[in-house]
Amino acid sequence: MKLDKFYINGEWVSPSKEEKIDIINPSDETVIGTLNIGSKEDIDKAVEAARVAFVKYSKISVPERLDLLKEILNHFEKRFENFVEAITTEMGAPVKLSRTAQAAVGMNHLKTAIRVLEEHKFEYDFNGYIVRQEPIGVCGLITPWNWPINQTISKLGPCLASGCTAILKPSEISPLSANIIAEIMDAAKVPSGVFNMVHGLGPVVGEALSSHKDVDMMSFTGSTRGGVAVAQAAAKTVKRVSQELGGKSPNIILDDEKFEQSVSIGVQKIMENTGQSCNAPTRMIVPKTRQDEALEIAKSVTEKLITGDPTQEKTDIGPLVSQTQFDKVQRLIDSGIKAGAQLVTGGLGKPTGVNAGYFVKPTVFGSVESSMEIAQEEIFGPVLSVISYEDIDHAIRIANDTSYGLSAYVCGGDVDKLRDVARKIRAGQIHINYGSGGTNAPFGGFKQSGNGREKAEWGLEEFLETKAIMG
């Protein structure tokens, strides 16, 4: 397949330069197509289209925007299985995860954007003056490969709901699903220039978008290193920057009757999506007196998971997305071994019998110290670090001993106690007994996990400027 067109100003257009990269299936390392990548010139064209379109689109009524979002949702539902296939092909997500989570959550973001737009008051009286919210302008959206539909629609839905126009730069690693999004925008007859998409590399297209004088806001999801680069480029024009970055989420397990269940589910959560989720509970913090029990449970659960062909319904764990990710995960597993952590299961190399594809062994480490690299660096693979605590205050200190603060987990039988612990953890989302707010809860991080919030009302307000009219 050839992805040789960008979507700019309501048309599929050829790039300004002829430069291609291979699209690789991570399950078998075969080249399945080529992707044309863009340049600053392509970004200039997309920004110009978005700037012109903003003048009219920012002024259309809420009912008109609602009709547009509902039409997009209609086409999304028609293409749902295409998304499932694309995600499984381009990043190796097991097909059952692609269907029940990856694509499904993306669709739910659209439904939430519609609900929020129906309910939001863009102008209201307050203490004798008028508070008014208006669309911020032209928005650059840079999205990752690990949850490509989820993260794209969580930005694009509220962006369009707000009255802003968009230039999407999807990850070059997951271009198939991004192209389907562009096809949906075209089929839904989104006004020309309101949605634009340019494929390309971060240091070229991402930098050009972030630094562009006519872009009013950047919304970025990716690594902390990438977020810093976007912020530095954006600083030249003092534009708003919203960042959802890396994580190293703690999972505090209390010493009570729910211990076995809490550990078991926690292991499954870290292995989901092959560990390639920024909010994965990668640090399991357990009572010192029950560490051996936790490791036995973790070993048993891990070794029952099926690693293999992601197109098969029985598969639990697919490949990592690329050779780069494979090499990184191998290096960090080796780091854990050399640091003296207890290798409970997994380890270096590919699973037995696997010759092709970026597959790794699901790995569990015990007796991990907070100072170890595997406890501090985001691994982005199916690797769990189990750390022991003396008492709950010690557990909280371990949880907060990280430069990240995206998500955290607290598990046990006493909900009041769990909530008390949750209040003391510096992270943007705290999951009690793996509870989730879905697409209706604010999502974003403390510290080096970023700034700003996505989803629901909070996601909409990222794309709005607030104006006070007095007198």
Residue 47: which pLDDT band, with cuts at 50, 70 and 90?
Answer: very high
Catalytic residue annotation: 244, 278
pLDDT for res 291 = 98
Residues 6 and 183 sit within 8 Å (Cβ to Cβ):
no
Span 123-142, average pLDDT: 97
pLDDT for res 277 = 97
pLDDT for res 182 = 98
- All domains of the chain, ordered by start, with CATH? 2-245+449-469 (3.40.605.10), 250-439 (3.40.309.10)
List pLDDT tens digits, range 304-340: 999 999 999 999 999 999 999 999 999 999 999 999 9
pLDDT for res 420 = 98
Span 50-57, average pLDDT: 98
Mean pLDDT for the chain? 97
Task: Report the share of the chain in percent with pLDDT over 90.
Answer: 100
List pLDDT tens digits, range 167-183: 999 999 999 999 999 99
Residues 318 and 93 sit within 8 Å (Cβ to Cβ):
yes
Residues 225 and 384 sit within 8 Å (Cβ to Cβ):
no
pLDDT for res 195 = 99
- pTM of the model as a whole: 0.97
Residue 386: which pLDDT band, with cuts at 50, 70 and 90?
Answer: very high
pLDDT for res 33 = 97
pLDDT for res 304 = 98
Span 201-215, average pLDDT: 98
